[in-house]
Each structure stands twice: as C-alpha cells, then as structure tokens.
Structure 1
Amino acid sequence: MVFGQVVIGPPGSGKTTYCNGMSQFLRLIGRKVAVINLDPANDSLPYDCAINIEELIKLGDVMAEHSLGPNGGLVYCMDYLEKNVDWMESKLKPLIQDHYLLFDFPGQVELFFLHSNAKRFIEKLVKKLNLRLTAVHLVDSHLCSDPGKYISALLLSLSTMIHLELPHINVLSKIDLIESYGKIAFNLDFYTDVQDLSYLQYHLDQDPRSAKYRKLTKELCEVVEDYGLVNFTTLDIQDKESVGSLVKLIDKSNGFIFAGVEPSAVGFSKIAMGPVDWDYYRVAAVQEKYIKDDDDVDNDS
C-alpha cells in the first residue's frame, strides 16, 4: 500500500507552504517523501518536487493557445491531466515502493466541488496504484473573525467532502494569525467543532450586507448542521507539536498507523521530536497560545 495526502484549499490558504513544511517534518521523523506539484500556475516552489505537472502541460501555453483565462486554463489542465493519467502513473511507479506522497493541487475551488476531472484523476490513481490518500483541506483561520466568510468556508468544506469521497480532514491553517483581521466572537472550539451556528446570527445582523440574507443564511447553516460532517483541526505549520498532531490524525484516516510497515517509519522519532504530549495541542491549548482575551490586553498595557 502507498500512503499520502491530497492537499487542497482556496488560494492563499497556505497549500504550498504546507507541503514544504509537512515534507520537512515527515523526513525528520524518518519517512521518505515525494512532493508532486499539480498546480500549473505555481511557478515558485519552495520545495524540491519529485514530479511537476509543468513537465506535461503549462498554464501559460494553454491560455495562449486556447484564448482562456486563468480559471478556464486550470480546468483545461486538470482535464488534460486526467486524460494522461498514464503519464502520472509512470512517474509515480519508481516512488511508490518506499515513498510517502504529497499531492499539491491548484487553489481553484471549483475543481473540487463542481468539476469532476480532478476527482476522476484521483480515483484512477487510487485504483491503478493502490493508493491510500487523505484529503487535507486548508482554510485560512482568519475567516473565523468574519461570520459570513466562516459560513462560506463551512459550505465549501462540506461540498468538497461530499464531492471527493476521500478520507477528509479540514484544517484551520495559519492558526497563529487567526485574529490578524479582527477578534473572533466565540471560543476557538465553537469554530473547530462547528457548534450551534444560530449563535452567529446576531453578529451577521450587525452587517447590513449580511442582514439582507438572514433567511438564506439560516437555511445554509441548517444544511451544514444537518449533515454533521464538518469540523476542523488547527495548524501552525512552524510548530512541530501542531504538525505532529495533524500527522497523527492523517495517519489514522488513511490507515497508515495500521499498515504492516517498519515501526521506525510509523513512530515519531524521539531524537527528532522529543517526548510528544499529544494532549498539549487540544483546542484549549491553541486558544491559550494564540488568542489574547481582553483581560490579557489590559494586563499587558
């Protein structure tokens, strides 16, 4: 079996930074990692990629040849990639014996809840190469400070989960910057556990743009709650405990911890990590670490 992650999320959510940091962390704990760049618009990669989609097709060439914009060009590239899945299979075969795979996908969200070419590409790879993949869906944590944007993120996460049909983990990325655009209205666990969304209504009504859509917003929140699928974990990609906690969740979701592999590949190296207290990185600890309440601000001043 071959294990890995499908890294997705809106533009700016930190996918490329995530792949860079995650690959470094996984190597630190003893895994061989191959990062596959599938974003033809990403021409500045901070990591060494084992496979680059630009070897197959380039977004600039597609836009020029077919008179397409960036969004249309990305859809074309994903469609072309799906039709040439044998090319990707041949590139992956030398790696799948002993590598953990990170697929860095484009940030165009329509590819993962509206169009089916990316989904079919993943399904074909899974079937051909016996892959065990987890979708890691990154959402910028600062969206929690805007109730309207947070609800949009919930809908996007739910739609993507249903569409992709993979083991799925939603991640509030850049948790260290969660209040960079304003304070959050509730404790962090309200946003990670997706608790009673009716509490957001008061804050939505304070914005005249949101108040006009009160009934629609209420119905959308009920859809999210009725499915009961969406929750979030948190991530600070520069914090080893945060990354390690996420790796533990991913390994459970795709079955890596249950596979018959060498213990050194599964366990976290005590030399590299030190003794890891997984309870440390619960939501309460994250809130205490990254969010200042009003009393803390007053005391500091």
Structure 2
Amino acid sequence: MRYGQIVIGPAGCGKSTYCQQIHQHCETIGRTVHVVNLDPAAEEFAYPVAIDIRELISLEDVMEEMKLGPNGGLLYCMEYLEDSLEDWLQEMLQDYTDDDYLLFDCPGQIELYSHVPVFRTIVDTLKIWDFRICAVYCLDANFVSDSAKFISGTMQALSAMVMLELPHVNLLTKMDTVPDKKEIDRFLDFDARLLANDLNQSTTSSMQRLNAAVATLVDDFSMVGFVPLDISDEDCIIDVLAQIDFAIQFGEDAEVKIPNDDVDEEEGGEGPQESGDCDY
C-alpha cells in the first residue's frame, strides 16, 4: 500500500509552501516523503522534485504551439496528463513501493477540482494503483477576511470534496501572516446561518433568499471544516500531518508502543506526552 496527498486549492494559496514545509518536517524527523509536481506552469521549487510533469508537457510549450491562453493551455496539459496516466505517470511511480508517501503538488486552477473530471480520473486511477489518497485543500487565511469571502472559499472546498470523493482536510494556510488571528477564530468553528446573517447586513434585501439558500446548502452537507496552518509553529505542522495520516490510515500496521509509566517515573520522566496543538 502506498500513500499520498493531493494538494489542491486556488492559485497563490500556499500549496507549494505547504509541500516544502511537510517535506522539511518529515526530513527532520527521519521520515521519507517524495514530492510530485503536477503543475505544468511551475518554474521554481523549494523542495526536491521526485517526479515533474514538465518532463511530459509544459504550459509554456503548449501556449506557444497551440496558441492557447494560460487557462486553456493548463486545461490542455491536464487532459494530456489524463490520457498519459498509464504511459507516463504509472511508469514514474513504479519505483515507489509499499509505505512510500507522496505529495502531489497540483495546479491552482480550481475548475480542475470542481468542474472538469480530470483530477477525479487521476485520483480514481491512483486508487486502482493501490494508493490511499487524501485531498488537502488549501485556502489563504487572509482571503477569509469577511463572511462573503469565507462562504466563497467554503463553497469552493465543498465543490472539490463532492467532485473528488476522497478523505479531505481543508487548511487555512498562511496563518503566520494574519495580523489578528482572533478574527479567524469564528471561521474555524463556524455557523453557516450566522454567516448568512452577516451577509444580509452587507447586501440588499433581494439577496437574502440567496444568502439563506447558500447557508442551508453548507449546513445540509455538514462536511466543511478548516484546520489552521501556521508554518512557523511546529505544533501546527505536526497536528495537520497527524490528521492527514489518520485520514488515510498511514502507519496503522506499525507496532503499537505502550509506554511503561513505572519506568518513566523511576527515570524521572513525565510519562506519555501528547502532541502539541496549534494555539487557535
């Protein structure tokens, strides 16, 4: 069994930074993680790239040869990847065996996860190849500065969840850049109907039925919740990785180690320790 994260989200939301930090953290604790670049428009990387889609196709070449714009060119690249899964991606992944852990750093065009079936095909194929996959949806915490923007981000995440049908962890990234973290607290455990009331105060009366419908939709699905990620806080990184590992049951076959409390006390220890949590 192989394991992986599909790291998705809008452009500029911190997907590559997340992959860098997870790779760096795992390297520090002696855990092997490989990063796969699935963004044909990527130019520079802060992490070692194990597999690079640009060896198959690049956005720059497609735009030049096909006379397409950035969005059309990116969609063409991903459809080309979809057609080349067994010819290219399967061959690239064949060297990774049981218990290998891969991060798939994906493009920032959200239509790929909510409207077109490209990534649904990719994740379904990875399942057939004996991967356990979790989708990690990144949303810039600075984007959720008010209820309207937060509802928009929530609907984007919900669309991806419904489309991909995977274990799913939604992250509020870039928490280290948020001026007042207390402003984000109400979005971490949010009530969609209260957010709809906020929307009613900032929109005309003609929009109230739409606001109520959106709130009801989010409440009815009851699927979307966000986990804060502050890359300057090691406890946050540990907490996020632990939640994802739990979602895909990574390490479930490892031998359970039961701490010996008597030995700990005799040696002056403090007994078993719990992992730290983010201070949010």
TM-score, structure 1 normalization: 0.82
Secondary structure of the corresponding residue to residue 133 of structure 2: strand
1:69 aligns with 2:69: yes
Report whether the alignment pairs 1:233 with 2:230: no
Structure 2 gap ranges (5+): 258-271
Amino acid at match of 1:164: L
CA distance in 2, matches of 1:5, 1:100: 8
* Aligned counterparts of 2:244 and 2:228: Cα–Cα separation in 1: 13
What is the CA-CA distance between 1:124 and the residue it aligns to?
A: 1.0
Residues paired across the two proteins, number = 265
Show the counterpart of 1:193.
189
- AA in 1 matched with 2:212: K
CA gap of 1:212–1:175, structure 2 versus 1, over 3 A, is farther
Q: Percent identity?
A: 39
Which residue matches 1:169? 169
Residue ranges of structure 1 left out of the alignment (5+ in a row): 265-274, 287-301
Q: Secondary structure at the match of 2:212?
A: helix
Aligned-residue offset at 1:207: 3.4
Q: Distance between the aligned counterparts of 1:9 and 1:211, measured in 2? A: 32
Per-residue Cα deviation, 1:84-120 (whole angstroms, up to 9, x for no partner)? 1121111111123453100000010000010001210
Alpha-carbon shift at residue 238 of structure 1 (Å)? 2.6
Please report how far the alpha carbon of residue 168 of structure 1 lies from its aligned counterpart in structure 2 after TM superposition.
0.4
TM-aligned CA deviation for residue 65 of structure 1: 1.7
Q: Answer whether contact 1:204 1:211 (CA < 8 A) is retained.
A: no
Q: Secondary structure at the match of 2:97?
A: coil
Aligned partners of 1:4 and 1:263: how far apart in 2?
A: 22
Q: Deviation of residue 262 (structure 1)?
A: 6.9
Question: Match for residue 116 of structure 1?
Answer: 117
RMSD: 2.2
Distance 1:262 1:15, change over 3 A: farther
Give 3-state SS (helix, strand or coil) of 1:145's partner.
Answer: coil
Please list, as runs of the form range in 1=range in 2, the aligned pairs for 1:78-93 lying within 5 A after superposition.
78-86=78-86, 87-93=88-94
* Aligned-partner Cα distance in 1 for 2:202–2:245: 41
How far did residue 205 of structure 1 move? 4.0
Match of 1:257, SS?
A: coil
CA–CA distance in structure 1, aligned partners of residues 65 and 255 of structure 2: 49
TM-score by length of 2: 0.88
Query: How do residues 7-26 of structure 1 correspond to structure 2 at under 5 angstroms?
Result: 7-26=7-26
What is the CA-CA distance between 1:144 and the residue it aligns to?
2.6
Matched-pair contact (CA < 8 Å) for 2:143–2:149: yes
